[in-house]
Structure 1
Amino acid sequence: MDKIELIATATFGLEAIVAREVRKLGFDEVKVENARVTFLASLADICRANLWLRSADRVLVKMGEFPARSFTELFDQTRELPWSDWLPANANFPVQGKSIRSKLFSVPDCQAIVKKAVVESLKGRYHQEWFEESGPRYTIEVALLKDIATLTLDSSGAGLHKRGYRQLSSAAPLKETLAAAMIDLSRWHPDRLMFDPFCGSGTIPIEAAMIALNQAPGLKREFAAEKWPVIPQKHWLDARSEANDLLKRDLTLKIRGTDINKEVLSLARYHARQAGLEKHIHFQQMPVNQLQTREKYGFLICNPPYGQRLEDLPSVEKLYRDMASVFKKNLETWSFYILTAHKDFEHVFGRRADKRRKLYNGRIETHFYQFFGPKPPRRKHEAEMLENDFDKAGQGKGLI
């Protein structure tokens, strides 16, 4: 298998971020579509993609794509795909499905037909009539969109948002993949303070620390494809060894998380310990209206309450006004990045965002409001280095 087509699935709005992560891993032939990023890879790259992608939902192996306007077409073309190259005789292969604007709209029927076609394909290779399915799991998905069927194998197993550090959760947890995307969009620099005043169970601070330390998000979990015989165990060992070698263990980070809820902060501290990051993050109980800092420049990234229930709106809008007041008073030169589903957030907050982006928190449509603070002045030695570079290039004269 020289080249394999992989699909990194993505929540709507995060495709460009996932594509950037894919390219950062060294893949050039990248195609971005709604809710997915497709790229060519090798068997070893299945391991690397699962370990390193922060904002993707899953890594799927693309088995085939073809028009399917009838059940006969779906069966015949599914049977012709190289299932035995991937599935051993004892493979456990449940079939999942979805159909959008296709003639084959009955998902249970499509699942049954794909299952039967895969069995027929495996019969020809293994010369047996019945498969006990007692071995490793190969979840097959048949996705139909406008009469085009895409057949995939799920190499991830549990979604990639499950990093392995969050065993417990608060009432409305933010997905780790979305938190990582928010940090990416903020362009936060690890040498600056990053603060979350609504940290809940700690997801945003923990994801920020993982990014700063270059800790692969999948380093502390397992994946379905680790049990696939087709992928040599050496590939997984090499990928994990590489990830460990790339960790920046000696960095000193300035990451803070506060919350008004004492119980939820105990979860945040527990999760930070599980991630091995407790020494890099400071958690503290504090209401947002008491926020103070000595840092002149920093990044505030948060996911405050949305007030989706009508009875919660007055208290949530008061919270937003409190945020605006304390941010203006104590964080005048900071940058703010705020995720909320409140339709009139900018009006309540009293300030128009410099940029906003539609994102989905689960099934909830939200906007990521971005308020840019001034850039900190260059340190003296940085300015001198820049001036020397200009002089060396002969371009430093005449500048104001």
Structure 2
Amino acid sequence: MMANSELTLSPECIAGRYHDAAITRPGGHAAGRITFSIHTDMAELEAEWRVFDDCSLNSLHQSFDWCASWVKTHGSELLIVRGAAGKEPLFLLPFEIERGRLFRTARLIGSEHSNLNTGLFDGRDGAFCAECVLALASGIGRQLRQFADVLVLERTPRIWRGAPHPLAALAGIEHPNASFQLPLLGTIDRTLTQLNAKRRRKKMRISERRLAEIGGYDYVIAREKPEAHALLETFFKQKAARFEAIGLPDAFRQAETRAFFHALIDSGADEPDRLLELNAIRLKGEHAGRISAIAGLSRKGDHVICQFGSIDEEIAAGASPGELLFYRIIERLCREGVALFDFGIGDQAYKRSWCTIETRLRDIFLPITLRGRAAAAVFRAVARAKRWIKANEKFYAFIQRKRRLRQMSAASADEP
């Protein structure tokens, strides 16, 4: 069923089939003609969607439960494109429509808080052929014209887990930020051989000694939902204090964003996978119960992404509790058979100190109407400007200072 009443579908869309181009799948197997269907109800695609979820090459950010949590808390206007060859589903691309004053944008669901976007592709035959993807892009563009002006696929990898990603066949520009990963090699000792193991262990011992001086700590994994919700609220407070201290807007300040992360906790993903697992360093002794560091993790198979992290800036910050927490997390995940720990998007010193893999990401802007051509040009210009600013350390520092001054001025104006 086409559930979203805000989308007016033509009779052809309601029929849901669009013949585009003959393609050949990798290995030379004829796939026949690609057909497209457009949907506004996630539920009618759930069975197929969850089959796509099982493919390790598809990001958990496009998984059914992740997208359902986002839609539930944001009231998104959905447009899900399904592609098939005969009766065989080939891909799902779940978009939400953003309506601006000048143009309409189709963007992958929840892109604002995604570390990695892949869409959902059938990975059984390996990488999609370039001809297939170009045909898909052409066909999708023709069918989406009545709903959107520009198609935005942000933070997509060219290579993911050693294989070319299907979307790499489309033209794109480099995203301003890369993401960073650490392969896990079965034990913490073997994993640390990729890094400066001696220095890493020394930092861990110093952290433990400093925390012991104020009573010690417990490494906590929130297994029960009430504890996880409480830790999430503590994270929001710690992160808000951090953003305020450095003069940046709080990325988690909006009520729907906070509701989304709470919804992830409540999602019933099968163990060991979890959409959001809260890990923490909890102090003992004179500060018993105080949360010194928090990390929010998402797990899909043998891949774990750190979605966010924070520390208590007031107590024991000099003990580097965040570094200690990552050490304990990675140590545990090695025992649990995880193969890749992903620190997520954003170039920060602590990520580089832990990681041996830097994954460059791309943004793809596909115009699908005449107005969309102008929109795509604007998106590309903004992305290039952001990349240039971040590459220019002096100018980036200047921008950060200006942002801090504006925030301080706004805070002063709000005071009675």
Tell me the TM-score normalised to structure 2 length. Answer: 0.27
Which has a greater percent of helix? 2
Larger RCO (CA within 8 A; separation ≥ 6): 2
Higher gyration radius (CA): 1
Which has a greater percent of strand? 2
Tell me the TM-score normalised to structure 1 length. Answer: 0.28
